[in-house]
Structure formats: structure tokens, C-alpha cells
Structure 1
Amino acid sequence: MAPTAETRRSRRPGTALTTWLRRALSTARAGFPLAAALRGVVALALPLLLGLWTGHMVPAVFAGIGALWGVGQDGSSPYRLRMQRLLAVGLAGALGLLIGELALRSGHTAAVAGCLVSTAVVGGLISLRGPVLSVTGMHLLLGTTVGSGIAVSGSWWQPPVALLSGVLLVTFLSTSPWLWRRHRIESDSVRAVYRTAAQALTAVGTPHAEAARRSMTLALNDAHDVLAPDLAAATRHRPEDSDTGRLLDALRLAVRLGEVVSALVWEGRPLPPGVADLPMQMAERLLPAGRSTATGPDLLPAEKAVPERDLRSPAVRALVELCGTADAEAGADVVLSVPARPRPGRTVRLRYAVLLSACVLVAHISAVLLHGPRGYWLPMTVAFIYKPDFGPVLRRAVHRCVGTVVGVAATGAVALVTGNTPYALIGTVAVFGALMAVGVRHHYAVATTGLTGIVFVLVDLLGDHRTLYGTRILDTTLAAAIVLAANFLLWPDSAGSWAAAQTEAALIAVRRYRDLAPSATSARRQTLRRAAYRRLADARRAAAQARAEPLPRKRTLPDWEATITAAEQVCDAVTAEVLANTAGSAGDHAGRARRPRQQRDARHRQSGP
């Protein structure tokens, strides 16, 4: 199927520039991650200061490299997942550094090339198997490139231990807020579902309704992922932590709310203003903004927010009844489960591993020919760029080149002003560390700018005072060219094939929901619906990534977006039909859920304080 006119317009240079500027402005409005920036400053400056004061600068620099990689993975995910990712980075990086260092100390050029290719194969094979394994594979290769490219004296075990200590410092700084804000991230993710549901209800009957419903779907997917460890524990035993139980109850109710909102979006009739306030009322009841043990405000009678004539809609009645029973019992029939996302098959992983290792080998040979031994920048840049699971390869390569140029210019300007005194260099590292922490959350080019400046300073502190500004730009450009040539000449259909596979998986999930939902139990219906919408969101993301990659001449991509949109509309229609058929039983369930609570309140009033 040929691309739509809108898709063709989006490929025009002027439209692309406008889109980029719009995204940049929205990023600027997203807020400055002050805590992450401060962590970047402390994590990168502290090891270097300690090395300067104690006279052990070499271990301090390797601790700074570990802190650099830790800051690069210091995201905003829950503390448990954040710790898993950072520990994987530290262990993989230290192991790779040890492998590369031992190969370099052997004195054989073939040993260095062999360990680079071997770790690239291993890293490529595991990188496409999940987010934690992805960063594990990349940092195993990064550690090997640094270890085989930077010669240091002293004991062989000191650099890996120092690097691991730098990552552990970032881990401590990143996860220590768990002590006083343990469930803040999980609570915010669940609250976001109710907020996007309210926005979707506001947009019902307008051209923006489907986009608002997609935002609610993404919020539900994110809340499922954030609470995945708690969901796995809850399947084995009831959570002892009351906060965890409250969050899971709120998420169960949010799943039912998502069903109702999808039905209302399909009906398309504008809703009274008070209806859009109901989701946030439910959130305040289940997730009070104060202490987790506090009791939320009493809900206003939902019927007063909806005129009698609007109650003829089954979806509106279901929303009113759901709001009137906004407690743990209302979502008791929802089985929370995170469907496993489809992952690339063995053939795809093997092909990626072979191409990655070939790129690393070509980069290593190019570095030896251009700069002699210990040319680590070229293979290191290849490891950073060739990560198709992190986003479009072309965009990543371009952002890498732009960030390197800006970083080189900034580093040169700072060197002219400060004169390369030790404390000035450490201050420069601190500033670039904050910049990198911001870029990790907002823009890859900004993160690359910070990383480039930090690496320049760390190498200078190791005693390499060569002027490498032009060399680094040349190496980055060459590494980007190697990756792009391998990806688009040898595997041009990689992103398109993945988008086609994701779309097919989504259509299968939609058919299952369409065929099984009318006769399924409530719990089974919710599971089928969530799986279908999640698959559709994944397919839309894969299609957008495929669109961002260049295409050979005389080739067009199928219009996956139109197919996905039609499938979403099918899901909305099935949801509305099933909800209409079960409206009577839903009312009976609401009455049964309301009576026990009223009886408990009556007994409490009779017993007194």
C-alpha cells in the first residue's frame, strides 16, 4: 500500500525542520531534571577530586569513566529496575575492560582485534533480548574498546574495580531517594493514566479524540511496565505493603476505566463538562496526594455530574457506576498481567551480531591505519551508534556527529579560557556531566555533547595532552559512515521487516480480542483488550522508526499507520459493543460493590469514634 499524502508531506525538508523545532520546544517545556543533573555533577567530579587529593589519578579516571556510563543509564524508571540496569552496566563494563586490558597487555595486535570481535558478537546476540540485556551487551563492548585502547600501568585488576566503583557511586546516588519517596514513581505512573483518561474524555467528539485515547493507552502500558515487578510478586502472594496494594488496586480500576473511555471515544458524542472530572476524582480517592496512609476525599455523587438524558449511553452509565464504586472492590475482577512483547528471532539477532562485529573490526582496522595502536574512539563510537533497538540508526548517527562537533567546540573554548588547570578540568567535567544527564532524558545529541567533553578531559588527566579536536570529528564521522553503510547496504529492510512483524502481531491480537471478547469473562476480556492495544502501540512505534530510516530509490513502505488506525477503531468498536451488552450485569455488580461499603460505613457511624 502506498504512503498517504500526509506521510509524503512529512518527508519534505521544511516539514521535517518544523517537526524537529516543535519537538525541541516541547522538550524545553518538559522541565529541567535538576536532581539528575546534580547527580551527574557529583558522580563525575567526586572521583576526580579524590584522585587529585590522594595522588591516584589513574584509578580516579577509570572511576570517572564508570560514572560517565552510569549517568548515561540513569533514567527515571523505578528504583528497582534502575538498580538492575546500573548494576548490569557496571559488571559488563568492568568485565569488558578486563578483557580488553589483558588483550592489550599481551602485546599481540591479533589478540586485541579478536577480543573486540568476540565481545561484539556476544553483545550483539544479547542486545535485542530486552532493555537490561541491551545495555549489558553495549557496555561489554564499550569496556573492551576502552581496555584495549588505553594503556595503563599498575595492577591489572585496578581499572576494572575502579570503573565498577564509579558505576556503584551513580547507583547509590540514583536509588537512595527510595528511602523517602519509595513509591513516588509508581504512583505518578498510575496517576498519569487517570489524567490522560480525563484528557481523552475532554476530547471525545473532537478530531483529537483518537490521539488522546492513544495517549491513555501509552500511559497504561507505562504503568504496567513500571509496576511489573510488583505484579509478578502479587501473583505469588498478596502484597504485605499497603502502598503496593493500593497502587495495584488503582491500576486495576484504571484498566476498567480505559475500557469505558475507549467505548466513549468510539461513540463520539460530546460529554457534559463534569464527566471529564470523574477520572481525577477517582485518582484522588485511590491515590491521595498526601501521605499514602491518608484517606482520600469523598467522591461527589457521579450522577449529579451527568444529566439524565446522557445516562442512556451504556458507556456513560458504566463510567458513572465505576466512579461511584472507586475502591478496591471495583477492580477486583481485573487480572493484571504484562504480555510479553515480541522480540526479534534468532536469525535477526545473529545477523545483527555479525554486522556489529564486522563494523567494529573495520573501525578497529581503520583506527590502526590512521592513528596506530590504541585507537579506541572509532570502535567505541560504532558501539554507541549501532543500536537499532534505541531508535532509528540514521537519526542516532546524525545526532552523534552533531553532538561530537558541538562537544569539541565547547571543550576547545573551555580549554582556552581555563588553561587546563586540574581544578578547572574537574569543573568542566562536572558541567558536562550535568549536560549529559539532561541529554539522556531529552536529546541524544545533547548527551553526546556532554560525553565528548568528559572523555576529552578524562584522557587529558591520564597524561595524553595531544590536540585531538579534528581527529575526534573525523573518527566520529567515519564510524557513522561505517555503521550506515553496513545497515543500509547490507540490511536495508531491517526496520521495515520489524515494523511489518509488529503490525502482523498486533492484527493477530486484535482478531483474538474481536472473536473472544463477546463470550469471555470480564477478567479474560480485559486481558485480551490490553494485549491488543499494547501490540498496536508497539506496532505504531515500529512503523514510525521505519519511516525515519532512508529507503532505496523506487521503493515505498506499506501504509502501516492506516492499518493500525483501522485496527484501533475495530478495538474501540468491540469495546463499545461488549460494554453495551454487559451494561445490565455491570449495574448489578456496582450495586453489590456499593452495598458492603455502605454497610461498613453505617456500622462505623453506630460504633462511634
Structure 2
Amino acid sequence: MALGVPALIGVLTGSIELAVVASVGGLWGVGQDGQDPYRSRVARLGSLGLAAAGGLLAGELALRSGHPGAVLVCLVFCAVLAGAVSLRGRVASVAGMHLLLGAVVGGGMPVPGPWWQAPLALFAGVMLVLALSVAPWLWDRHRIAREAVQAVYRAASRALAAAGTPAAGDARRRLADSLDTAQQALGPNTPARLRRSFALAIRLAEAVTTLIWEGRPLPVTVTGTPLSLMAGEIRVLPTPFAQDTPGLRALAGVFEAAGQEQIDEIPLEPAPHRPPGLADCLRYALLLGLAVLLTQLLAEALDGPRNYWLPMTVAFVYKPDLGPVFRRAVHRCLGTVAGVAVIAALALWITDPYVWLAVLAVFGAVMAVGVRHHYGVATAGLTVVVLVLLDLLGDERALSWPRILDTALAAGIVLVLHFALWPRSAAATADDRIRTALAAVQRYRALAPAAGPVRRHVLRRSAYQQLGAARRAVALAGHEPALRRPRQDWEPVIATAEKLCDVVTARVLASDLVRT
């Protein structure tokens, strides 16, 4: 809808240039949509729209000025600014990347009409995505929080079923992740009943972690109890098991708490975020600016059709916060080849513009799926969409081979710069994440015995969250060519720290039961 509706309006009204710009805004907006809370989507898509429109305006004014080098200066400035903010968090990352993308489009694609029309059309395309994304809030505003809390109970049931098996560790990690997702989904206006259900899920997760640490298989009568809690079927544990171990006694205590009038609520504080240091941000900003400078100079030297594809590829590929740079570059090249092959095949038998609009919508959906699952698939869908949009503009030049060449050149420049001037960025990030995680684990170990349930949860959440970030950083580092064999001590350190957290949880909970 975000691609097809503006394009259809443009075909029907004859305002095809502005319609294509609006579709580009919709394309970028869909790429950053998600299933997170509505307030998060508003912040992310709103910042995307403003940044992209501002970048487009800057690039457009530079192009219209007619001064030699104005576009080049504008792109390099926007690249440095984008790089300076992009590593500061997800919203900043989205805004930075789309500031640069907007500048690239504005400086490379002349749009007739007043200067304000193209930025406004781009912003309108993003706002269409935002409206479609948050529309369910009007009739079911608490659905995301409710489903996130329910996911905790389901994860707890699966974790209990995995107790005493090799899958227990992964199940416990998924439980911790679901708990963190639920806490982020809850807001100050969440109904009291849902907040109470989440507070009960906190106690349930603590009991489940203890049972996993005890390490023995559990009967179905026990593993299904979280689902009973989720459904509101309050009942006690089966008698033969309820008083057998500290974990089962804690699980029985969760059911007792479920039948009480009051239960301590957990403060809904935001998840902690530790951005990279100033040196890393400056280095990335300068490298991104240098990459854009080189690709723009190369584009002007080659003087090919739609040569803004070169710096645009840099903006998409050189995002170390979104994944390994090498893998993104390879997937970008392969996806571009696949997209060009698809468009070449379709062009053999499609001539009707309305059929092309259907192709636009279909491959827009392919891109949206790829964004969440595979960057190469996303690039293939994006390539088809962009080539269709250019066809709607009446550009009949041969664009397929230049798109492949430009993508390969830009990806090559990014890789050479990155691995020549910042070769151990992924390894340094992994080391930093591990140090932060170990500090959080030690803090939990030291403070948990004397802390109450609420404070204990805050400490435990921080420890598990930092351990998860460390594990993801290690996995990403393993995909960089310089680190095909990740440091051998990374995984054992993380695994040992996770077991230490589980031990602390189990022993503190057992001590609480003894005192009670």
C-alpha cells in the first residue's frame, strides 16, 4: 500500500515525479516498520521522515544552486553528520542513515516544481506508513503489550519443558528475552490488570530459572502451569511435586500470589543503553564521509545514468550497527544481481503500467519481509522496486548493468576503507560488550542477596540483557573476514557468566523461601 497507492495516484493525476518521491518515502518507512510498541514506531518513523525530508531538501538546494561541487560538499557534510549520530541508538541510526539517503536522492534526482514539494512528498510517504502501522491503536491500543506479556508465559512453559535437557540454556535465554520485550512494551497507561500480570510473570521467570538450574526433567503437570496462569486458571501445583525442591516451592508461591489481592509491581523503567564511545563515533563519521566522497567523485568521473546509486549504496551498506559490514556488502551485491535478473525477465512480457504497479506492490512486500529476515532478499526486492519507479519516470536508458557495476564499486570502496582503517571494530565491540556484561553480572551477584524482589529483578534484567548483547556481538564478529575464528575464550566466558546468574537467582530465591 505504501508503494502502490502514491504511484497509482501519480499515474492517474499525471504528477508522476512527486508520486515517485512519495513512494520512495513509503519504501524507506516500510523498511523501518516493526512490531514494537506504537510509541516506539512513532518516534522512529517520525524521525525518519523529518531526517529524510531535511536531507532531500539540502541535496535539492545544492543541486539547484548550480555551483560546481555544491552537491559533493552537501553529501559529505550529511555523511559525516549521519555517521556522528548513527551509533547512538536505533532512532538515531535510522535518522542518520535516512538523512544521508535523502541528501543523495535530492542531489541526484531533479524534481520539477517549487523547492518544498519534493521534501513534503517524501515526508507524506513516510507518514502514510506511520498511519498504517499505528492504526490498530485506535481499536486495540494494548494489544502489543498484552501479547508480549502472554509470550513470557509461553516461554516459561517451554523453558520448564526443556528443564534437564541440553536445550534448557537456550530456553532460559528466550525466556529472558521475552521478559525484556514485555517490559519495553508496557507503558504508563497500561491497564493495572496487565501490569499485575507482568509482575506475576517476573516471579514466574525467577522460579523457572531456579527449576532449570536444578536440572531435572519435570512432568507435564508442572510444565503446563504457566499456561494455566496466563489463562487465569488459578490452581495449586500437584501435591507430589509442590514441596519437593526450592524451585517447585517457588513455583507454588507464584500460584499463591496469583490468588492475592495485591502484588508488588515492577517499575517500568526504559532498557539501559550504552552507546559507543566518542572515538568510535568520530571514526565512523569520518570513514562514512570519506566513502561518500570517493563514491561521489567516482560517480562524476563515470558519468553513468542515475549515478547517485553509488553513494546511496554506501549509505545502505556501511552500517556496522546493523550487522557485519562484509556480509552486508556481499548480500547487497547478490541481491542487486537477483533484482536486475527479475526485472529483466518481467520486462519481456509486461507492458501495461498498471501491471507494473502490481509488481511494485509485490516486490515492496518482498523487501519488507527481507528487512526482517535476510538482507540479500531485501536488496533484491528494493532493486526491483527502484527500477520500476525509474521506469514510471519514463527513464528508458539501460540501467541494469550500471546498477550492478555501481553496487559492486561502492561495496568494494566500503570494504577497503573499513578493513584498512578500522579492521577490528567488531572485535573491539565484542570485547566491550563482554566487559559490560561481566560487570552487570558481578553487580547482580553482589547486591541480589540483600535486595527485594523488585530491585532483584532490575539487577537480573540488566545482567541477562548485557549478556544477550555480548552474545550477539560475538556472533556478528564471527562473520567478519578478519575474525573467521573468533577468540576461543569469548563463548566460554559468556556461558559461565550466564550459569553464574542462574546460580545467584536459584540460591537467593531458596534463601528467601527459607526466611519465609
What CA distance in whole angstroms lies between the structure 2 residues aligned with 1:153 and 1:343? Answer: 41
What CA distance in whole angstroms lies between the structure 1 residues aligned with 2:373 and 2:9? Answer: 31
Contact 1:506 1:532 in 2 (8 A): yes
TM-score, with length taken from structure 1: 0.82
* Residue 411 to residue 331, structure 1, CA distance change in 2 (3 Å): farther
One-letter amino acid of the counterpart of residue 502, structure 2:
D
Displacement of 1:558 in angstroms is 4.4
What CA distance in whole angstroms lies between the structure 2 residues aligned with 1:219 and 1:138? Answer: 29
SS at structure 2 position matched to 1:325: helix
Displacement of 1:521 in angstroms is 2.4
Which residue number corresponds to residue 439 of structure 1?
370
Which residue number corresponds to residue 490 of structure 2?
560
* Residue 185 to residue 334, structure 1, CA distance change in 2 (3 Å): closer
What CA distance in whole angstroms lies between the structure 1 residues aligned with 2:85 and 2:262? Answer: 42
Of 430-439 and 489-498, more deviation after overlay is shown by 430-439
Of 171-180 and 320-329, more deviation after overlay is shown by 320-329
What CA distance in whole angstroms lies between the structure 2 residues aligned with 1:577 and 1:346? Answer: 40
Which residue number corresponds to residue 316 of structure 1?
248
* Identity level (%): 53
Displacement of 1:343 in angstroms is 1.3
Which residue number corresponds to residue 389 of structure 1?
321
Out of 153, 171, 192, the position equivalent to 1:194 is: 153
* Residue 256 to residue 349, structure 1, CA distance change in 2 (3 Å): same
TM-score, with length taken from structure 2: 0.96
State how 1:181-580 maps to structure 2 within 5 Å: 181-227=140-186, 230=187, 233=188, 239=189, 244-285=191-232, 298-300=233-235, 302-303=236-237, 305-308=238-241, 311-326=243-258, 331-332=263-264, 334-371=266-303, 375-419=307-351, 421-551=352-482, 557-580=487-510
What CA distance in whole angstroms lies between the structure 2 residues aligned with 1:80 and 1:205? Answer: 40
Unaligned segments of structure 2, at least 5 residues: none
Deviation sequence 1:431-460 (CA, Å, 0-9, x none) = 211212222222221211111111111122
Displacement of 1:331 in angstroms is 4.1
What CA distance in whole angstroms lies between the structure 1 residues aligned with 2:271 and 2:30? Answer: 30
SS at structure 2 position matched to 1:271: coil
Displacement of 1:373 in angstroms is 8.5
Displacement of 1:363 in angstroms is 0.9
1:47 aligns with 2:43: no
Contact 1:125 1:350 in 2 (8 A): yes
One-letter amino acid of the counterpart of residue 234, structure 2:
L
Which residue number corresponds to residue 172 of structure 1?
131
Displacement of 1:417 in angstroms is 0.9
Deviation sequence 1:519-567 (CA, Å, 0-9, x none) = 22232222111111111111111111111111179x8524211101101
Contact 1:378 1:479 in 2 (8 A): yes
Which residue number corresponds to residue 111 of structure 1?
70
Aligned residue pairs total 516
Unaligned segments of structure 1, at least 5 residues: 1-41, 234-238, 286-297, 587-609
Of 137-146 and 263-272, more deviation after overlay is shown by 263-272
Contact 2:474 2:486 in 1 (8 A): no
Deviation sequence 1:444-497 (CA, Å, 0-9, x none) = 212111111111111222232111111101111111111111221211110111
SS at structure 1 position matched to 2:276: coil
Contact 2:25 2:122 in 1 (8 A): yes
One-letter amino acid of the counterpart of residue 198, structure 1:
S
What CA distance in whole angstroms lies between the structure 1 residues aligned with 2:107 and 2:80? Answer: 17
What CA distance in whole angstroms lies between the structure 2 residues aligned with 1:374 and 1:109? Answer: 18
What CA distance in whole angstroms lies between the structure 2 residues aligned with 1:373 and 1:147? Answer: 16
Deviation sequence 1:73-114 (CA, Å, 0-9, x none) = 122222221122111111111111110011111122311111
One-letter amino acid of the counterpart of residue 201, structure 2:
A
Contact 1:252 1:336 in 2 (8 A): no
Contact 2:195 2:265 in 1 (8 A): no
What CA distance in whole angstroms lies between the structure 2 residues aligned with 1:330 and 1:267? Answer: 30
One-letter amino acid of the counterpart of residue 504, structure 2:
V
* Residue 475 to residue 565, structure 1, CA distance change in 2 (3 Å): same
* Residue 392 to residue 116, structure 1, CA distance change in 2 (3 Å): same
What CA distance in whole angstroms lies between the structure 2 residues aligned with 1:253 and 1:349? Answer: 41
Which residue number corresponds to residue 291 of structure 1?
none
One-letter amino acid of the counterpart of residue 230, structure 2:
A
Q: Higher relative contact order by CA 8 Å / sep ≥ 6: 1 or 2?
A: 1
* Residue 385 to residue 511, structure 1, CA distance change in 2 (3 Å): same
Displacement of 1:49 in angstroms is 1.4
What CA distance in whole angstroms lies between the structure 2 residues aligned with 1:181 and 1:394? Answer: 42
What CA distance in whole angstroms lies between the structure 2 residues aligned with 1:328 and 1:347? Answer: 52
What CA distance in whole angstroms lies between the structure 2 residues aligned with 1:517 and 1:465? Answer: 68
SS at structure 2 position matched to 1:206: coil
Which residue number corresponds to residue 92 of structure 1?
51
One-letter amino acid of the counterpart of residue 53, structure 1:
L
Deviation sequence 1:370-426 (CA, Å, 0-9, x none) = 12596210100110011111111122112111111111111111111113x322322
What CA distance in whole angstroms lies between the structure 1 residues aligned with 2:162 and 2:261? Answer: 29
Displacement of 1:137 in angstroms is 0.4
Contact 2:160 2:212 in 1 (8 A): yes
Of 243-252 and 331-340, more deviation after overlay is shown by 331-340
Which residue number corresponds to residue 157 of structure 1?
116
Displacement of 1:172 in angstroms is 1.3
What CA distance in whole angstroms lies between the structure 2 residues aligned with 1:267 and 1:50? Answer: 63
Contact 1:104 1:148 in 2 (8 A): yes
* Residue 549 to residue 317, structure 1, CA distance change in 2 (3 Å): same
What CA distance in whole angstroms lies between the structure 1 residues aligned with 2:74 and 2:395? Answer: 24
> What do you get for the CA RMSD once the two structures are aligned?
1.8
Displacement of 1:572 in angstroms is 0.8
One-letter amino acid of the counterpart of residue 246, structure 1:
R
